[in-house]
Amino acid sequence: MKTFNLPDLGEGLAESEIVKWHINVGDMVKLDQVVLTVETAKATVDVPAPYSGRIVSRHGEEGDIVNIGALLLEIDESGSLQSKTEQGAKSQTTDAATVVGNVSQHAHNVNVDDFWIGGEHNPSPDNLVTALPSARLLAKKLGVDLNKVHGSGPDGLIVDNDIYHEAGKQRPGTEVLKGARRTMVAAMAESHHNVAAVTITEEAILDGWQQNEDVSIRLIQAIVHACQEEPAMNAWFDAETMTRCVHSTVNIGIAVDSRHGLYVPVLRHADEYQPHDVRRWLDQTVQGIRERKIGREQLQHATITLSNFGAIAGIYATPVVTPPQVAIVGAGRIIEKVVLRDGKAVAIKAMPLSITFDHRACTGGEAARFTKALTQHLAKASK
């Protein structure tokens, strides 16, 4: 019998979420056959079997968070289907009668005649609840429904700790954050703690746009142009070494909202893409995110980020810079407004822009020049 623990998936990632099991107990697996898919803080990863054999036991359910070294599988290379879990169940049955102590971490003087069994009025055999008197009083005090409590004592006896555990649970509908949402927590906290964030806002006048303009493509092209005009915003900053790396290529992280959380895939060498290539990349990448099939390498090495939140709602915002990057461009909802031109009221369309930059690494002048180049490019008529 051999065990298989969650391996180190690289980049110092300590935990992963089980997305999907591809095998069941009793299945025969071959060396390097994919047995499960996990999602790390970086991407989804297919995990192969380290050896061939029959699956004896499987540990962890889809949606569980597991750490490096956690037991995932027991595999019998001989092909036998004698499960250790079955042996364990027999052992527990044998030992159950000997479990007398450890009823609770709190000391109790218990008389069996004092146990309250079932409800207060003629409980049915299918709804029996056994609990210590102190646990029942505690449940009433904390508003805990005993019928929803799993007892940890002998034969399911409910003890005080079980009540405290149930009372400590969050309300129905809450969830433990996983995957991309869990990553977002760490990233946003780091940014809030470390970045000297300043947001500058402006509007791009869209008089020259056609009705069928692809907003995402125009934004990407404008960011590339602005980075070339003012490279200081297309950079990484390391506060520990007090160094700044200004990039000659533009790798744009595109913020993508999904039901699994926020992903930021990276369009590398965006300055080398033609418009139709950008659209193809966007469509393929969004589809990969929806299917949770996006590689780790697709989420790395952005030099600047775009958040087109206006595609959903919102005019202005304060986008969050993700270190080591120093800037992020937020595009709001395109609005119609009236302006005065030659003394006459004219209706125009405008795109609100919010550019947040790390003032430790960029000056206000550099951010302003970047913003000016960005809005001027967006204002151009399409070719």
Q: What does DSSP say about strands 304-307 and 252-254: parallel, antiparallel, or unpaired?
A: parallel
Q: What is the pLDDT of residue 105?
A: 36
- What is the spatial distance between Cα 35 and Cα 322, in angstroms, rounded to a whole number? 34
**Mean pLDDT value across residues 290-313:** 91
What pLDDT band is residue 110 in, cutting at 50, 70 and 90? very low
Q: Which of 15-24, 178-187, 282-291, 348-357 has the lowest mean pLDDT?
A: 178-187
**How large is the average pLDDT for residues 178-184?**
80
Provide the mean pLDDT of the chain. 84
User: What would the mean pLDDT of 218-241 be, rounded to a whole number?
Assistant: 97
Of 346 and 176, which is predicted with more confidence? Answer: 346
Distance, in Å, from the CA atom of 30 to the CA atom of 55, rounded to the nearest integer, reads 11
Give the residue among 331, 364, 325 at the shortest CA–CA distance from 350: 331
Predicted TM-score (pTM) of the model is 0.64
Beta strand 304-307 with 327-331 is parallel
DSSP character string of 132-184: -HHHHHHHHHHT--GGGPPP-SGGG-B-HHHHHHHHTSPPTT-----HHHHHH
pLDDT higher than 80, residue 178: no
Strands lying side by side in the sheet with 28-29? 2-5, 71-76, 53-58, 28-29
Task: Report strand pairing: 53-58 vs 34-39.
Answer: unpaired
pLDDT value at residue 112: 36
Q: What is the DSSP string of 255-280?
A: -EEETTEEE--EETTGGG--HHHHHH
Amino acid at 345: A
- Whether 62 shows a pLDDT value over 90: the answer reads no
Q: In the chain, what are the domains?
A: 2-94 (2.40.50.100), 101-167 (4.10.320.10), 179-379 (3.30.559.10)
**Choice among 131-145, 220-234, 249-263 with the minimum mean pLDDT:** 131-145
Q: What is the pLDDT of residues 124-165, one digit of tens each?
A: 444 578 888 888 888 888 888 888 898 888 888 898 888 888
DSSP code for 96: G
Residue 33: is its pLDDT beyond 60? yes
CA–CA separation, 12 and 67 (whole Å)? 12
Indicate the range of 103-112, 193-202, 299-308, 332-341 predicted with least confidence.
103-112
